[in-house]
Structure 1
Amino acid sequence: MSQLTTFTKAQKAAAILVAMGKPSAAKLLKFFKQEELKALVDAARVLRTIPQAELEKIVAEFEAEFTEGAGLLDSSDKMDTLVSEHLSPEEMNALMGKPSMKAGDQSASVWEQLEAVTPDRLAAFVASEHPQTTALVLSKLSPPLAAKVVVLLDKAVRGEVVKRMVSLGQTSPAALRILENRLRAQVLAESAGKDTSAGHSRVASLLNELDKDALDEVMDDLAATGSRDVEAIRARLFSFEDIALLSQRSRVSLFDGVSTELVTLALRGAPGPLAEAVLSAIGARSRRMIEAELASGGENVPADEILKARKQIASTALRLAQEGVVELPNLQQAA
């Protein structure tokens, strides 16, 4: 008996999305309602391997096309990755039925609420604190957030703070309550009262859709208005041309998961220094393939396809920067 008859509609849809791959499937995710996304994730969890023949029948039923060679699919893991990479933490929490942790949410502990506070806000608080207090605060944060705060600390105290974290012992409940109250009053209250980070991210997301020249022009216009948000917005901007400003380590991390086809398309017509910055971060074999493809021509490649490829790579850099994998340059100083 064919497995096809035992698949639910949600399972079939999950199988097709996984087979499509991240770039194509990501375009479709935004059209699903929250309950439909949850049904897809739940359906993927009960799927195991799907033989090629069965997958072809599913695809034929949906009258769609898929990339040859999809083969056997680990649907649960791939669906989790696919959804998590294209939904915000807040959307993921809502999708999976988890409570949303926001600054000022009194139902969560102080330390849970701090996870929603920006690293620079936390760094500003601990900057005037004793290294022992800073060490205690960092020890209570999640490792990804604590790491981002550490790199923002003054170099003169950074080593001392880390040293104290190593030898940190038990803290009395009374002292911990005092610290939590101060954090609640000085960090969480201010963050909840005036949190403009969402607005900065919203504007930056819009501007990141522009080409480099248009982006610079809009930012100049914004600066001319005297807006105090220019620096915060600029810190969230990144274009394909800014790859040359990344460290070699960050460039290698960025292109580690980018396909050679996408890199080739993005490098069409790119200036020599920018192309070299990209190619120097790629393995020798892949570099030779890309250079050979670029040398073979490509004058008929639509400009909008090249721009789309560059935006996709820039978006990947921004996502990896949020995850702490890639360190973006200070674009304002580099400008």
Structure 2
Amino acid sequence: MTGAEKAAILLLYLGPEATAAVFEHLDDFDIKKISQSMSRLGHVPREEIAAVVAEFTDITNPETGFFSQGEEFVKKILERALGPARAENLLQEIRTSGIGDMADVLSSMDPRTIANFFSQEHPQTIAVVLAKLKPKQTSEIISLLPQDLQAEVVIRIAEVDQVSPEILAEIDEVIRLELTALGGVQRFKVGGVEKVVDVFSHLDRSREKKILDKLDTMNPPLAEVIRKHLFTFEDIFKLDDRAIQTIMREVSNDTLTLAMKTSIEDVKNKIFRNISSRAAEMIKEDLEVMGPVRLSDVEKAQSEIIKVVRKMEEEGKVVVGGRGADDVLV
């Protein structure tokens, strides 16, 4: 029994409200896998229910178990959790047989193996395949592709919006022996600038810079669009003082100190102006005595602070330029 099947049984057992609440915290990839499993379950014996939710078997029907309610249940849950439009997009993919198979196969493969396999393929083919994967895995594979190919693939992922049956059929012919069929009769959302930005969030800063520098030469407008969507540690301190003060209250001094290790003086000064004088003095002292640290540790600390900002933005506590910056706050 796969993880998706176990999740499907558990959520069917818990019911629509709990399922909708859980789906709100999952990405489309996981929702699609679990929903596919729900649609295919049919009758679930008591023994299987007990194996998945052992501590709750005493409140299930010991004779009959339950029948999953199939696509109608999935549709109701997706609409409740995601809204009608996003739910319908996912349902279209779920209804098409085999659409999740390729991602499932690739998810268990070593990124280097995948990169080696695709290194001789056309960038468009690579982009369509990688755009179907989770951003973290996509970023790992892109990092392992030949350097000249990396920016090409990023461009194609950003530009591809929908994939026709003809292109899917061509990809199926090319990679059928290694992966699985990509057949389908509909068009599927696979890429776009948002996908590229999500992938970039999983790349290390040096790799991100190299690809963007290459994009500046190959496709300057796309490079500019991507930069506008990316949000860096330094961008935090382009916000107004009130927003920075709100953010700093949610960040520990240890994390902030490490994140500031590579910051320019202007950024440091703006931070010091927006925290208490006592905290500022402590951080200044810690920075003075701090020895060499790994750049990856600094970037990790900066990423943690960026996550705090993203969460606060989602909660409406701060407004980040580019998404809601034109809204009037009263």
Give the TM-score of the pair, scaled to structure 1. 0.40
- TM-score after normalising by structure 2: 0.40
